[in-house]
Structures are given as C-alpha cells and as structure tokens.
Amino acid sequence: MASFALGSSSSSKITPWIFIFPLFLLTILPSISASTCSSQKFSMNKNFEFCNDLPQLSSYLHWSYDSSKSSLNLAFVATPPKPTGWISWAINPTSTGMIGSQSLIAFRQSNGQMIVKTFNITGYGPISPSEIAFEVSNMVGEYSGGEMRIFATMILPKNMTTINQVWQVGSSVEGEIPQKHAFGPANLNSKGTLDLLKGESSSSSSGGGSNSRLRDRNIHGVLNAVGWGILMPIGAIIARYLRTFESADPAWFYLHVGCQVSAYAVGLAGWITGLKLGGKSVGVRYTAHRNIGIALFSLATLQVFSALLLRPNKDHKFRRYWNYYHHSVGFTVIILSVINIFKGFNILEPEMKWKTAYASVIIVLGVIAALLEVITWIVVLRRRKSANRTKL
C-alpha cells in the first residue's frame, strides 16, 4: 500500500494566501448556504410555512397545511446517487416502514424531463405506478445540478395532522419503474413522524426495528470477519509452518485444532446471525454474498467432521490423499471467506477504517506466511542435506 503526503517547497512559503483564502470561501459558501432547508429557494415564488432538514440521505421537506381543507402542500428535495436515479417521499397511514407507504416518486424520463408518479408500495418486489389512498394534484418535478424536487398537493383524511413519513433515493430507473435502492444505514433509517401543525418531526433512526437490524448486521460482519477471515487463516498458518520444527510437535497440532474449532464456532454464530437477518429482510437479496456464504459454510462443516471422524492414521495408505483433500478444501474456505467478507463490507458500507483494518490484517498475515515459507524451506533443505550426508 502506498501513502501520499503533501510536500513543502520554497515556493509554498511565498504563496499569496491573502488571495487564496477569499477564493476558498467563495468555493465553499454555496455548499454551506445549501446545507439547510431554510436557505432553499424555489421557482415561481413557491413558499411554505414549515421546513425540516431530514436526518438521513441529505433530504429536505417543506410544507404548508390547511386544516380547514385537510390540504398538504409540499416540496421534497433530495439528491439521488446518480442523475439517472429517483427520489421518493411518502406517507404511510398504517405503519412506520416502507410497506404500505403511499409514495410520490420522481425521476427523469429518457428525454431528460422530470416526471412525478404515485406508487402504492405493497411489497418488496417490483413496483409499478398506481393510485394511492390520498387525492393528489399539482404534481411537478424539477431537476437542477444533480438535485431533484417534488412538488405536490395532497388531501388527507380529517384530523390526520401527525403522519408517518418515509423518504428514499435510488440510483436507477428502467422504463418508468424505479429500481431497488441501497440498504445502507441511512436508507434503512429514512423514516419518522411529522406533526403538520407544529412543524416538528422525529426520526425513527433510534427506533428498535431499524436499530436492531443494523446491530445484527454489525454482529454478523464482526463474527464472520473474526471467525472465517482471521482465525481460520491463522490456524492454517500454524499447521503449515510450525509442524516443520520438530520441537513444536505435537503442540502445533493442538494449536491448529484449537484455532480452527474456535474459527468454526465464531463463524457458525455469524452464519446463524446471517440467517436471522435474512428472515427479517424478506425481499432483500444479496445473491452472491449468500451463495458464497452457503458454500464456505458447507465446506467448513465437511472439513470439521472429516477431521474428527475420517482422518486416517499417519501410516495409513490413504493418508496422503486425505491430506490433499484436507489442504485443498481448507485453502478454498479461506479464499471464499476473504472474498465474502469484502462483499459484506460493500453491503454494510461501514466507515472506511474498518475495511482498511481488515485489509491490513490480511496483508500482515500474508507477509508472515511468505516469510515462514522461506524459513521452512531453508530448514527442510538443510535437513535433507544433512540426511544425505548421514547416508554417505
């Protein structure tokens, strides 16, 4: 891995900072001014009584509510991951999640024009435009500088002044069908309640359901990284290199077995947590991650039971073939584990430091294995040379 640092030179000491600093301010001020809903301005002199900076996905909601008509006039502002993506704001009259939400979804058509359509979200599968439970009018979409806006007027039931709101962004649209959004923490926590009269909102990011699922995802990742991704390679290194040294026998064997059994136990807990997550996330599929996980768990289970029940004695004629099998399956499990852990990082999207930390551990183990490979070959060659001299 390479690291980069900013160097210094004599020319940097005479840089006219007095000119650069104002330019720096001019660069960052637009982004600062756009960071809150109160600074946002709309075309056609559209004004709203309230606005909220929503706590997830860099989104904003503006609204005015006419209690005499139960009329909600709103503007939702968000930036999709890609210009070809979509944004959505919804009211869920029956629960706090996505299922059951009465949604307004905006995206760009093939000609670049913005369009807003209504969607009744009844499941996690493919969705299509449909009527929703509320009367909607004046639906308009706008796009500018990567940012999308939804304007609409909704007629709500009488006395429905506190609502469950759900908002979301996605990266792609096929035809007029928004495709699945990401499932990072921000996406899973983009929901809450809104008091239309008081102008107050609360986020469900501290709610039990999403927090519990996120906690399980983190536990799943940590257990698998420690079990399959760290302990398992360490156990393989112990078996391959320590047994070369006669003084390490039989200690290396017990260390190897202890390490691999611990790795399997921790990995099993991680695998069970993954099954639990799958049960909580109906309709959410990470096919490659799941299939690799099933394959490595099956091979690891086969490895454990074959070592306990089918391992021939050292002098057995089939011991050589069993060793070939044992080594090949073991290294396959390790390779699949490392690949799947990085796929898990891409799904969970933790802070980069965790991915970097795990990559650093793997690199260190690789360097240790390479050094031990050289050392053990030197020991083996010297031992063979000494044995040949003894025969002579």
Q: What digits encode the pLDDT tens for the residues 110-139?
A: 888 999 999 998 877 778 888 999 999 999
Is 50 exceeded by the pLDDT of residue 27?
A: no
Task: Kindly tell me if the per-residue pLDDT of 215 is higher than 80.
Answer: no
> What is the pLDDT at residue 306?
86
Residue 9 lies in a domain: no
Least-confidence region, from 35-44, 169-178, 368-377: 35-44
Instruction: Tell me which residue range forms the domain holding 191.
Output: 36-206
Residue 180 has pLDDT above 80, yes or no: yes
Both 193 and 297 in one domain: the answer is no
Domain count, the chain: 2
Residue 19 lies in a domain: no
Question: Same domain, yes or no, for 166 and 252?
Answer: no
Given a cut of 90, whether residue 332 has pLDDT beyond it is: yes
Examine the domain organization and report whether 130 and 64 are in the same domain: yes
Q: Assess if residue 292 is contained within a domain.
A: yes
Which amino acid is present at 46?
Answer: K
Mark whether 66 and 184 lie in a shared domain. Answer: yes
- CA count, 13 A, side-chain hemisphere, 83: 8
14 token code pair: 């005479």
User: Is residue 4 in some structural domain?
Assistant: no
Single out the residue in 145, 175, 206 at which a domain terminates: 206
How many whole angstroms separate alpha carbon 242 and alpha carbon 258?
A: 14
pLDDT band at 301 (very low <50, low <70, confident <90, very high): very high
Cα–Cα distance measured from residue 302 to residue 166, given in angstroms and rounded to the nearest whole number: 45
299 & 334 share domain: yes
- Tokens 């112990």 found at: 238
Provide the CA 337 distance to its chain's centre, in angstroms.
17
Indicate whether 243 and 329 sit together in one domain.
yes
DSSP 146: T
Same domain, 150 and 102: yes
- Enter the tokens of residue 44: 């056609």
Residues 176 and 257 placed together within one structural domain of the fold: no
Residues 169 and 57 in one domain: yes
Which residue spans within 114-265 are E strands per DSSP? 114-120, 135-144, 147-155, 162-170, 173-174, 177-178, 191-195, 200-203
Query: 326 lies in a domain?
Result: yes
With 70 as the cut, is the pLDDT of residue 15 above it?
A: no
Put simply, whether the predicted model's pTM sits higher than 0.95 gets the answer: no
Residue 221 and residue 362 share a domain: yes
| Residue at 219 is within a domain | yes
Asked whether residue 180 falls in the same domain as residue 282, the answer is no
User: Are residues 232 and 371 part of one domain?
Assistant: yes
